[in-house]
Structure 1
Amino acid sequence: MFRLRTILVAAAASLAVATGLIVSGPAPEAEAVPDTIPLTITNNSGRGEPVYIYNLGTELSSGQLGYADAEGTFHAWPAGANPPVPAPDASIEGPADGETLTIDMPKFSGRVYFSVGEKLHFALTPDGLVQPAIQNPDDPNRDILFNWSEYTLNDSGLWINSTQVDMFTAPYTVGVEQQSGEVLSTGELKPGGYSAVFDGVRDAGWGDLVHNGPDGEPLRVLSPGHGVSTGDVPADAMSDYIDRVWEHYSSNTMTVTPITHEPENQYAGTVEGDVMNFTDGSGEVVASFNKPDTDSVFGCHKDLAAPNDQVVGPLARTLCAGFNRTTLLDNPNQPDPDNSNFYQDENTNHYARVIHEQMVDGKAYAFAFDDVGNHESLVHDGDPAAAFMTLTPFD
């Protein structure tokens, strides 16, 4: 079976602005951002296999799902079927090791995939595109080395990030060139960081998250957000910490300021039974969360689901980040801005801890709401001249 995954128009950019994680000034005039910008892909991987590029997502002007070719021309997906039918080949031949390729990115909200050695398998249902779901052992992409970057390019600029929300695998960096010529980049691993992530996850006792390829070599590390459902992480991995948090705030108060540019909007959280209630300044209950389980924490869903509003969603995001970073017991004021306090508890998100430790700038998207407090591997510019992806060595 395939797992259906859709690309939403509300990607990192709109989420970040809505929750105050990116404080943006007035949007540029619409004509300031051209219809396409160049994306230069550099292959410094040190590997000799062919590389394939895919630019998939939502065309913002029409809301249609589809793909862009190397010239930035949009192609809507044809109708799908049940069972799923193969999607048209949207691949672009990528650069060989030591070479570069420049393609055009249209105003899109989506993903730039790259695969190494073999093309990816995509399919279509009546509801849209079926994308790779590597947590499924029957997924046809399970044994392919691939990764992706997420981006939104619109009239307010470019947001592009590296992501490890689903898995850690083929390393790469992303960047954006400003009109001044300065380049902002993120996602770079420390020397030896690729191997160190695999070793660190194993050392934490989460070695079952490591998936090997047909040659027996490590192919990827599955995120614990998927690992609970696959049995690769114990279903009670966070239970002890969750119990301690619930007990602590049965007699103490957590103060949450979820939107950085609205410091006057604070909420007080206390636990009654199996529910944590948050009240506003008037004492009115504005959000309630059932005691979460490990899956809710690692997936930032279920009991910690975050609707796209201005109160419950930001509170859920902050609470989930605090659980993953295990800062809720040591700091009653959330979110904790000091990343030296993160992942200090024995029961923590070791996957996120290890990945952040191995990043040159300390930033990563190791779980869904890793952008709380701007600790995510994302770059943004309101008037971008160009974008970059660099495939980096597997060391």
Structure 2
Amino acid sequence: MPHRLTRPALPLAAAVALVGGVLVFGATDRADAAVPDTITLTITNNSGRSEPVHLYDLGTQLSSGQQGWADADGTFHAWPAGANPPAPAPDASIPGPAAGQTTTIRIPKFSGRIYFSYGSKLDFRLATGGLVQPAVQNASDPNRDILFNWSEYTLNDSGLWLNSTQVDMFSAPYAVGVRGGGGTTAETGHLKPGGYTGFFDALRAQGGGWGGLIQTRSDGTVLRALSPLYGVETGALPAGAMDDYVNRVWQKYTTSTLTVTPFADKPDTKYFGRVSGDVMNFTDSSGAVVTSFRKPDASSVFGCHNLLDAPNDQVRGPISRTLCAGYNRSTLLTDSDQPDTTPGDFYQDAVTNQYARAIHERMADGKAYAFAFDDVGDQESLVHDGDPQAASLTLDPLN
């Protein structure tokens, strides 16, 4: 089945728009935009692996809304028409660097992904609705036994947003960076020494089905851990993994009030949640009900969707993303004022998103996109610059 594109998670203060069905960072047009049509992306292979690396730059061209790919020079190529059943896509691969080497390509004004794979090229297909991307939660996906990963990015007239993401899976480690016009460089995504194997060891030791998220190849190679959302969807993780915590939240806010202040730059905008039966109603300062949520299940919590849907508006979406962060980090019982932005408060309950906890504990700077709204409280692994001169992607060791 077609893969769900993970939304490049968005800082609350940034402008956002939908372009060709893709959520775009900083989408405000600027007459004085100085961002060039392409910038360089240097890929450094510090993985220590001997297999060839294959690169892909896939996404939506922001000037046209067309989906396609870019070659090593940053030239855009639109996908041809798809078929049913999906037909093989044109080979969009770019040769990557050998171990210890670098490769520099140019990336255009896209909202999309930079994929990289070790050993084998990825299998992309075109359906009548567009590109079918790898969906390794499906046992029959042709990419299931390939070691690969991806970064998400938006480059537009307002700058570059480039992230390291674990929203769908935790796999081959990498870091991202950007150099701005002032010469400053930002980088994120590196693991602590031993963090890669340490993460998988932590899931195996956790119990409760969390080790079931790990996928291995027949030769014993550990390939990835699925996100808990996909774990629930595939039956690898119990569907009731968050029920105990959600039930306790429901009980608490039947007799007390949950206060949500969703915008850091608007501290006077507050919403007040109380549970009535199977619904949590939120009111504004006048007492009017502005939105309501039914009791979420684990899929809704881990995916920040379904019963915790977050539309691109100024009320329900911001409340929902705050709730999503609170459920995944298990801070809703210990702090009635949300969001709780103190990392030391996160993942302290016995019932929590153990996948996200294990990732954050092993990141060198503590930052990650371990679930869709991990940017609440600035916990995301994202670099941004309004005047990007160059970007980088570093393939790190699997140890």
1:202: how far off? 1.0
2:33, 2:158 within 8 Å by CA — same for their partners in 1? no
CA displacement 1:348-389 (0-9 Å, x = unmatched): 000000000000110000011111111010010000110000
Alignment of 1:16-95 (within 5 A): 17-18=14-15, 29-95=31-97
Question: What percent identity do the matched residue pairs reach?
Answer: 65
Instruction: Specify every segment of 5 or more residues in structure 1 that has no aligned partner in the other structure, as ranges.
Output: none
Q: Distance in 1 between matches of 2:40 and 2:338?
A: 39
User: Counterpart in 2 of 1:3?
Assistant: 2
Find 1:109's aligned residue among 108, 111, 117.
111
CA displacement 1:210-268 (0-9 Å, x = unmatched): 10012112111111011001111111111000000000000000110111111111000
CA displacement 1:273-300 (0-9 Å, x = unmatched): 0100110111110010000011111111
The reply to whether residue 180 of structure 1 matches residue 177 of structure 2 is: no
Find 1:263's aligned residue among 261, 267, 282.
267
1:4: how far off? 4.1
Q: Distance in 2 between matches of 1:37 and 1:295?
A: 38
Are the structure 2 counterparts of residues 111 and 240 from structure 1 closer, same or farther at C-alpha, using a change threshold of 3 Å?
same
1:182: how far off? 1.8
2:11, 2:375 within 8 Å by CA — same for their partners in 1? no
Give 1:370's aligned amino acid.
D
The reply to whether residue 379 of structure 1 matches residue 383 of structure 2 is: yes
Q: Distance in 2 between matches of 1:6 and 1:363?
A: 21
The reply to whether residue 191 of structure 1 matches residue 193 of structure 2 is: yes
User: Counterpart in 2 of 1:276?
Assistant: 280
2:12, 2:263 within 8 Å by CA — same for their partners in 1? no
Give the number of equivalent residue pairs: 388
1:29: how far off? 5.0
CA displacement 1:6-42 (0-9 Å, x = unmatched): 587xx445876259xxx98x98654310001100000
User: Counterpart in 2 of 1:321?
Assistant: 325
Are the structure 2 counterparts of residues 149 and 316 from structure 1 closer, same or farther at C-alpha, using a change threshold of 3 Å?
same
Q: Distance in 2 between matches of 1:46 and 1:16?
A: 39
Find 1:240's aligned residue among 240, 244, 247.
244
Are the structure 2 counterparts of residues 317 and 4 from structure 1 closer, same or farther at C-alpha, using a change threshold of 3 Å?
same
1:175, 1:183 within 8 Å by CA — same for their partners in 2? yes
2:279, 2:293 within 8 Å by CA — same for their partners in 1? yes
User: Counterpart in 2 of 1:348?
Assistant: 352
Q: Distance in 2 between matches of 1:183 and 1:17?
A: 20
Q: Distance in 1 between matches of 2:32 and 2:268?
A: 32
Over 3 Å off, 4+ runs: 4-8, 11-16, 26-31
Q: Distance in 2 between matches of 1:375 and 1:57?
A: 25
TM-score (norm 2): 0.94
Alignment of 1:68-217 (within 5 A): 68-205=70-207, 206-217=210-221
- Report the aligned-residue RMSD: 1.6
Q: Distance in 1 between matches of 2:4 and 2:277?
A: 36
Q: Distance in 2 between matches of 1:6 and 1:353?
A: 23
Q: Distance in 2 between matches of 1:122 and 1:226?
A: 20
Give 1:51's aligned amino acid.
V
Aligned-partner SS, 2:388: coil
Q: Distance in 1 between matches of 2:4 and 2:169?
A: 15
TM-score (norm 1): 0.95
Q: Distance in 2 between matches of 1:173 and 1:329?
A: 34
Q: Distance in 1 between matches of 2:104 and 2:52?
A: 16
Aligned-partner SS, 2:33: helix
Aligned-partner SS, 1:200: helix
User: Counterpart in 2 of 1:293?
Assistant: 297
1:110: how far off? 0.3
Q: Distance in 2 between matches of 1:30 and 1:208?
A: 51
Q: Distance in 2 between matches of 1:324 and 1:197?
A: 18
Aligned-partner SS, 2:239: coil
User: Counterpart in 2 of 1:365?
Assistant: 369
Q: Distance in 1 between matches of 2:357 and 2:14?
A: 26
Aligned-partner SS, 2:145: coil
